[in-house]
Copies of this chain bind each other. A is one copy, B any other.
Amino acid sequence: MRFEVIPLGTGAALPAQGRSPSAQVLRLEDALYLIDCGEGTQERLRMAGLSFMRISRVFISHLHGDHCFGIMGLLSTMHLLGRTRELHLHGPQPLKAIIDLQLQASGTWLRFPLHFHAVGDDAPQVLLEDERLTVTSLPLRHRVPTTGFLFRQKPGPRPLRPEHVNSIPHYRRSAVKAGHDLVRDDGTVVPNAALTTDPPPPAAYAYCSDTAPHPHLASWVRGVDLLYHEATFTTHLAARARETLHSTAAQAATVAREAGVGALLLGHFSSRYKDLTPLLDEARAIFPDTALSEEGRCYPIGPRSSAPGTGG
């Protein structure tokens, strides 16, 4: 099952060093979810060959411009391309009024239903649960209301033990794969465990940007396969991180270590860093399975997906 994330922007508030503002695409099989949408995201989606029309949901972490100034252009282009399929948008409450005001001022009535879902920032809440995925908000600590997002796959069907497949009537197989015991026509019961094996553990991805260290974050993202965490500064600028409610690379790595995640992906790099090696080195000293996110690169999410370049 294809489950991966593609960062489209790895920069912080000030565009520089050829880095774009925050945006990521999460791909789960044929579904695309957009996470944050800085200015120019639609252009980078196009460059990455990702179809606007397959995006079913957009998640906006907060209303700083480098995370949301591209949303109007994206909606407008979807509209002009003739989208009719509904789009779900999860984000801070004021985003609704910001969008409505601009649609009104431009005399635009979107051709597709736009369902807005306000995301609170008090406690983690389930934003979406469907047959494949559960998405939970992660309250973060930043200068304006901000949430991260935890994407956790649903467990897949339980694989049938090959030696028993033929002994299970065809019409009972779905129930057995779903975990039920098999009740034979003569009334005997075969325990599920005898017929199936455990499915691969469901993969999980957490997106945390922007945030100062948060006391509960590590517990909320415990054991995820891939953690994206902002690393705006090195420890050298810890005071600046504290002042702006951002994290250092060391702080990001500390969350990864405490949470026991599979791998850590850093991003939201301050424009002052041309060379990002100091950020990477600082994080790896604490959590070795760390990578710098690169725009347009695919990062698989799953048990075997440790950070690229670390030999994991």
- Residues of chain B within 8 A (CB-CB) of A80 are 13-14
In the complex the two chains form, what is the Cα distance from A72 to B108 in whole Å?
Answer: 19
Contact between chains at B102 and A98 (CB < 8 Å):
yes
Q: Does A184 contact B (CB under 8 A)?
A: no
Q: Does A117 contact B (CB under 8 A)?
A: no
In the complex the two chains form, what is the Cα distance from A91 to B77 in whole Å?
Answer: 23
Q: Mark A270-293, 1 if CB is under 8 A from B, else 0.
A: 000000000000000000000000
Indicate whether A14 sits within 8 Å of B77 (C-beta atoms), given known contacts A40-B39, A105-B94: yes
Contact between chains at B106 and A64 (CB < 8 Å):
yes
In the complex the two chains form, what is the Cα distance from A72 to B70 in whole Å?
Answer: 10
Query: Residue A42 contacts which of B39, B63, B105 (CB distance < 8 angstroms)?
Result: B39
A64 to chain B, nearest CB (A): 5
Contact between chains at A97 and B101 (CB < 8 Å):
yes
Q: For A13, A39, A64, A144, which residue has the most chain B Cβ atoms within 10 angstroms? A: A39
A76 to chain B, nearest CB (A): 4
Binding site for B on A (CB under 8 A): 13-15, 39-40, 42-43, 46, 63-66, 69-70, 72-73, 76-77, 80-81, 92, 94-95, 97-98, 101-102, 104-108, 143-144
Q: For A46, A94, A101, A105, which residue has the most chain B Cβ atoms within 10 angstroms? A: A105
In the complex the two chains form, what is the Cα distance from A171 to B65 in whole Å?
Answer: 55
Query: Could you jot down 27 A-B contacts, CB within 8 Å?
Result: A14-B77, A14-B80, A14-B81, A15-B42, A39-B39, A39-B42, A39-B70, A39-B72, A39-B73, A40-B40, A63-B102, A63-B106, A64-B106, A65-B72, A65-B73, A65-B108, A66-B76, A69-B69, A94-B101, A94-B104, A95-B105, A98-B101, A98-B102, A101-B101, A105-B144, A106-B144, A107-B143
